[in-house]
């Protein structure tokens, strides 16, 4: 079996560490694994297959001899260094927002649109974590009944921001229980025991960047620029696991039973739907799982052709690291 030289940019971040673990768990054919990060992380050691690999400083020359580069260190870093990786001959798989809407960069979820991967010119984008969990569920429904309109309300875990947000939620909870003042450094308001209806910057149209990312990325991946989509994105005091309430209007009538039958056959999707027994997708049960969980599948009686869904996934796993590694697998194996 051919082996590949792989670089991970942002290796010391929570997504970078998850990528390392998934490469090992899925036995990706790595010849040499190069861990790259900012200067302050140089010299750190991270475990991989029983060894401790030393983190190296990310520079313009870090990609010589690299076949595949997985970027997870923020859009600014990707915009600066990804072109150097491509120039050195590496294929870049970028998990940040840097290139997602570039027309010549394929935006890939392997279960949904692997056929578009062939158009890459050295640069491949992985969607936002919320978009990933939506499209793996929506694709089979769209194929069967043609989705006309999507209304999405998201409930997003703080780990999407990074370790600093996890720490802030932890500190705030402890402060409240110990009757101390709550300090807000990462979020503009208290996140503990609260919901913040703003993720990312507010745009001129009144929507946030995260909400428009859901709209634009979903259209690009599903290949339907005319699909009507609206979103409200909310931070919730959950450490790991994104949840979403999704309302669909379809051209063709489709029943909840038909939706469940379709989704039961989809790789990477697990139907968890028996509400009479208190069984439905939960963020705490999605953590550590590769599958996207879907439940509360029911008809929307206010529409002629309406369906409601509740979708949950581990935002660090399938929402970021796993999707990137799966893209690499399709790249080298053609999805076999």
Structure confidence by residue, pLDDT tens digits, 305-315: 999 999 999 99
The whole-number average pLDDT for the span 279-285 is 98
In a 10 Å sphere around its CB, with 0-12 CB exposed, 13-18 middle and 19+ buried, how is residue 74 labelled? middle
- How far apart, in whole angstroms, are the C-alpha atoms of residue 20 and residue 55? 12
Burial 20-58 (b: 16+ CB within 10 A, else e): bbbbeeeebebeebbbbbeeebeeeebebeeeebebbeb
Contact 320, 8 (CB under 8 A): no
Contact 107, 97 (CB under 8 A): no
Residue-averaged pLDDT of the chain: 97
- Report, as residue numbers or ranges, the catalytic residues: 129, 242
In a 10 Å sphere around its CB, with 0-12 CB exposed, 13-18 middle and 19+ buried, how is residue 2 labelled? exposed
Structural domains of the chain ordered from first start: 4-127+320-333 (3.40.50.720), 131-315 (3.30.360.10)
- How far apart, in whole angstroms, are the C-alpha atoms of residue 201 and residue 197? 11
Q: How does pLDDT run across 107-144, given as a tens digit for each residue?
A: 999 999 999 999 999 999 999 999 999 999 999 999 99
Answer yes or no: is pLDDT of 336 > 90.
no
Q: How far is CA 195 from CA 111, 154, 156, 213, 233, in A?
A: 32, 11, 10, 20, 10
């Amino acid at each position: 079996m051919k082996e590949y030289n792989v670089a991970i940019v942002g290796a010391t971040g929570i997504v970078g560490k998850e990528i390392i673990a998934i490469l090992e768990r899925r036995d990706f054919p790595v010849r040499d694994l190069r861990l790259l990060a900012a200067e302050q992380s140089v010299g750190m050691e991270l475990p991989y297959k029983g060894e401790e690999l030393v983190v190296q400083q990310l520079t313009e020359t870090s990609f010589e001899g690299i076949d595949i580069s997985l970027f997870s260190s923020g859009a600014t870093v990707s915009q600066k260094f990804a072109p150097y990786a491509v120039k050195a001959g590496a294929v870049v798989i970028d998990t940040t927002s840097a290139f997602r809407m570039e027309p010549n960069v394929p935006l890939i979820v392997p279960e949904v649109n692997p056929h578009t991967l062939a158009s890459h010119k050295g640069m491949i984008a992985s969607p936002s974590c919320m978009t990933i969990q939506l499209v793996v569920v929506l694709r089979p429904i769209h194929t069967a009944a043609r989705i006309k309109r999507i209304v999405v309300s998201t409930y997003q875990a703080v780990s999407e921001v990074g370790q600093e947000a996890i720490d802030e939620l932890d500190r705030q909870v402890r402060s409240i229980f110990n009757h101390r003042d709550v300090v807000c450094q990462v979020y503009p308001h208290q996140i503990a025991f609260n919901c913040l209806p703003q993720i990312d910057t507010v745009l001129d149209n009144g929507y946030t960047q995260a909400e428009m990312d859901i709209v634009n990325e979903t259209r690009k991946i599903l290949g339907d620029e005319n699909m009507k989509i609206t979103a409200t994105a909310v931070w919730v005091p959950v450490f790991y696991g994104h949840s979403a309430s999704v309302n669909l209007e379809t051209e063709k009538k489709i029943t909840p039973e038909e939706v469940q039958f379709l989704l039961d056959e989809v790789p990477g999707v697990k139907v968890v739907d028996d509400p009479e027994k208190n069984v439905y997708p939960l963020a705490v049960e999605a953590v550590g799982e590769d599958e996207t969980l879907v439940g509360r599948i029911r008809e929307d009686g206010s529409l002629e052709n309406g369906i409601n869904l509740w979708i949950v996934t581990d935002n660090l796993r399938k929402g970021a690291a796993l999707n990137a590694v799966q893209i690499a697998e399709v790249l080298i194996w053609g999805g076999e």
